[in-house]
Structure 1
Amino acid sequence: MHKVQLSYLLTPERGKDALIRNPLMDLLHAVREQGSIGKAAKALDLSYRHVWGALKDWEQTLERPLIVWDKGQRARLTEFGEKLLWAERQAQARLAPQIEALRGDLERAFSSAFDENTHVLTLYASHDAALTALREHAGAHGLHLDIRFMGSVDAIAALNAGRCTLAGFHTLDQPASQSVAARTYRSLLKPGLHKLIGFAHRTQGLIVAKNNPLGLASLADLARPGVRYVNRAEGAGTRVLLDELLAKAGLLPAAIAGYDSQEPSHTAVAQAVASNAADAGLGIETAAHEKGLGFVPLVQERYHLVCLKSELPTPQVQALLKELQSRDWQTTLGSMPGYSVKLAQSGKILSLRGALPWWNYRTQKS
């Protein structure tokens, strides 16, 4: 059985009908109506050679004759050719409402591309509930965020490779110059090349079962016998944060059962705890709240957006800054569990050296 493939055209105006056009059916219809290849070609405003060659090509593709090629006789369709036209008419009549709906959906989708007041911004980012909320908020104002969630390291690498306009990552407030975060991000971010945009200030902590039946209160409790931990994927900002906190607490990863497990998002970590596949995981309060779980706050951190300095003046980035600074967005962010509006600096251009103070003149020159 031969398969059907659909395609579409972008034109200034619609055609005369709402059908899905097929060049073969147009050729067959013209031949049947005009009675000759030459007249069919003229009616279609095509050359005789083009129509004749196209029909021969279609016969070869379909492995069936389409035209009765008798010299001196009126050109006519074979039975197979007639059946093709009949089948096409049946399908077009039956599917006309769906075809029109599909056409309308495509036109509405593409209308944003022709609207000078609409912008699309590609963002690769570490998973964050506020970013999901921002996508909905900004979309209502003509800024469409094409977000792909991944680890912080991969997101910044994608930015530097030109695969996105912005990247999202997070660190502790004022991470130390010899911190795990500094070792992870120092080679990826450069003053003078990148621009940092404030986005959110949030709490990270342990996502635990409702009412915290195991009484988990710190990272040290994760090393207790029988406690099952669920981790984020390697390269994720939250896993970098965990390694940072473990180093500060003098704990080895091997002491935590489940350190080698990998989940792609805060939501996935919360689901693992909710389904009793794990007892705890490091994550954001919103993820715990959505699953009806307990939450043990541990640290405050900043979630940053970063772009190349050359992209900062572009319309799409400027539109994002406007959204982040709007009162509506501040209200939305403030309503989310675990987020602070006062400390977010949302939409502000920040000093890379100030927010991530692990650079100095000597290290820049070396």
Structure 2
Amino acid sequence: MHRISLNYTLGTEAAPALIRNPLLDLLQAVSDQGSISAAARQLGLSYRHVWGELKRWDAALGQPLILWEKGQAARLTDFGAKLLWAERQAQARLLPQIEALRADLERAFAVAFDETAHVLTFHASHDEALVALAEHARQARLHLDIRFSGSVDAIRALNEGRCEMAGFHVRIAPAQGSLTQRTYKPLLRPGRHKLIGFARRRQGLIVAPGNPLGLETLTDLADKGARFVNRALGTGTRVLLDELLAEAGIAPERIRGYAEVEPSHAAVARAIATGRADAGFGIEAGAQALGLDFVPLAEEQYFLACLKSSLAQPATQALLDLLRTGAWQHSLSALPGYTPARSGEVLAMNRELPWWRFRPRAVEHAERGPHGHGPAPGAEVGAEVGGWS
């Protein structure tokens, strides 16, 4: 039984939140390059070192990792390929937890190195733009302590006081009575919460390169029996998919693999890249990161939400200032499938999520009259601010 030990590095250079292993990086390089010498060059190592490491690991693991045949490209053995697949799949599935672990460590060091640094705690739906934002924030002495979870869970964490900012996403112009409305309306309240503009992004089908099954719609997904991988309950992506299925009149049980779930967009993309599934539902950036094809099906708005009481706090104001900068919006535009959308603006919730019907109490009283029958004499319409129903 082989055991796992973890370590981390401390430095100023930005790097993906992955737990690196030299052997797996070496196997990936050989798989990509098709030769030991090219793999060594890719990794910045000598041929002799790479050869020695492979021989050492062959002996330690008790079976070969690489097949060498004269005149043929080097390739992984079945064992080497399975080892690489298992590790990369685990990395993709554990990405939210790895990000949370890194956030814990970085928050501790942020305070240790600079007691005046702003720290803002996030719970948010997993999003590539938020990962990029965290890197920009460090340069402005703002540390974003981001815990990735589903959109629904993120807003609940905000309401329970477990974070200061929640990231969630909804379809553009969600309809009255939609699943989106039924999911989010009980969690958000005008007057208590404030919405902050962040980004627009595209969601759709992530498929193998060349889209071999010709999947263009959710109906194709059902009719062709494509192997599907889903997102978990509580995620905004699952809410969006279920809403689109309902609109298309497709019962979830018609989707082969509907019950198979992955914890992040990266894990969904990895399942397609390794051939475990034919399609998944996710963001364009996740598909492009692994060289997969993408079929756009919906555009959505990604919002940040906070309590009204925290809007004036220095850390929140520092975030708003950062979101409004041209440098950040340029970086956001460079991400596949993303465009800035009033980044850093405090938005009116009843306009962005039009599920609340605003009626001033004075108007209602004027319309009803003193006995509920017609206007009240001398009533001043609009004299008092009312509420949402």
TM-score category (smaller protein)? 0.5 to 0.7
Q: Distance in 1 between matches of 2:156 and 2:358?
A: 24
Which residue does 1:114 correspond to in 2?
115
SS in 1 for 2:122: strand
Q: Distance in 2 between matches of 1:255 and 1:328?
A: 45
Q: Which residues of 2 match residues 167-186 of structure 1 at below 5 A?
A: 167-186=166-185
Task: Return closer, same or farther for 1:165/1:112 CA change in 2, 3 Å cut-off.
Answer: farther
Q: Distance in 2 between matches of 1:110 and 1:297?
A: 42
Q: Does 1:346 align with 2:343?
A: yes
SS in 2 for 1:212: coil
Q: Distance in 2 between matches of 1:219 and 1:178?
A: 22
TM superposition shift of 1:112: 4.4
Q: Distance in 1 between matches of 2:109 and 2:302?
A: 34
Q: Distance in 2 between matches of 1:201 and 1:247?
A: 23
Larger Rg: 1
Q: Would you say the 8 A contact 2:201–2:337 is kept in 1?
A: yes
Instruction: For residues 57-114 of structure 1, give each alpha carbon's deviation from its aligned partner in whole angstroms, at most 9, with x where no partner exists.
Output: xxxxxxxxxxxxxxxxxxxxxxxxxxxxxxxxxxxxxxxxxxxxxxxx9996444452
- In the alignment, residue 355 of structure 2 is paired with which amino acid? W
Q: Distance in 2 between matches of 1:241 and 1:164?
A: 24
Q: Distance in 1 between matches of 2:199 and 2:345?
A: 11
Instruction: For residues 251-310 of structure 1, give each alpha carbon's deviation from its aligned partner in whole angstroms, at most 9, with x where no partner exists.
Output: 111110111111111111000100111111111110000000000011111000000000
- In the alignment, residue 205 of structure 1 is paired with which amino acid? G
SS in 1 for 2:229: coil
Q: Would you say the 8 A contact 1:177–1:359 is kept in 2?
A: no
* TM-score computed with the length of structure 1 as normaliser: 0.68
Q: Distance in 1 between matches of 2:199 and 2:289?
A: 19
Q: Which residues of 2 match residues 55-74 of structure 1 at below 5 A?
A: none
Q: Would you say the 8 A contact 2:110–2:143 is kept in 1?
A: no
Q: Distance in 1 between matches of 2:215 and 2:304?
A: 32
Q: Distance in 1 between matches of 2:226 and 2:124?
A: 30
Q: Distance in 2 between matches of 1:300 and 1:268?
A: 21
Which residue does 2:259 correspond to in 1?
260
- Structure 1 moving runs of 4+ over 3 Å: 105-113, 361-366
Instruction: For residues 133-177 of structure 1, give each alpha carbon's deviation from its aligned partner in whole angstroms, at most 9, with x where no partner exists.
Output: 001111121111000000111000000000000001101111112
Q: Distance in 1 between matches of 2:245 and 2:107?
A: 51
TM superposition shift of 1:226: 3.2
Q: Does 1:237 align with 2:236?
A: yes
Q: Would you say the 8 A contact 2:165–2:304 is kept in 1?
A: yes
Which residue does 1:134 correspond to in 2?
133
- In the alignment, residue 358 of structure 1 is paired with which amino acid? W
Q: Distance in 2 between matches of 1:128 and 1:364?
A: 33
Q: Distance in 2 between matches of 1:114 and 1:137?
A: 19
The answer for unaligned runs of 5 or more in structure 2 is 1-105, 360-385
SS in 2 for 1:213: coil
SS in 1 for 2:332: helix
Q: Would you say the 8 A contact 2:107–2:145 is kept in 1?
A: no
Q: Distance in 1 between matches of 2:216 and 2:138?
A: 39
Which residue does 1:316 correspond to in 2?
315
Q: Would you say the 8 A contact 2:204–2:296 is kept in 1?
A: yes
Q: Would you say the 8 A contact 2:137–2:322 is kept in 1?
A: yes
Which residue does 1:250 correspond to in 2?
249
Task: Return closer, same or farther for 1:154/1:295 CA change in 2, 3 Å cut-off.
Answer: same
Q: Distance in 2 between matches of 1:364 and 1:166?
A: 24
Q: Would you say the 8 A contact 1:238–1:283 is kept in 2?
A: yes
Q: Distance in 1 between matches of 2:295 and 2:184?
A: 27
- In the alignment, residue 180 of structure 2 is paired with which amino acid? A
RMSD: 1.9
Q: Which has the higher contact order (CA 8 A, sep 6+)?
A: 1
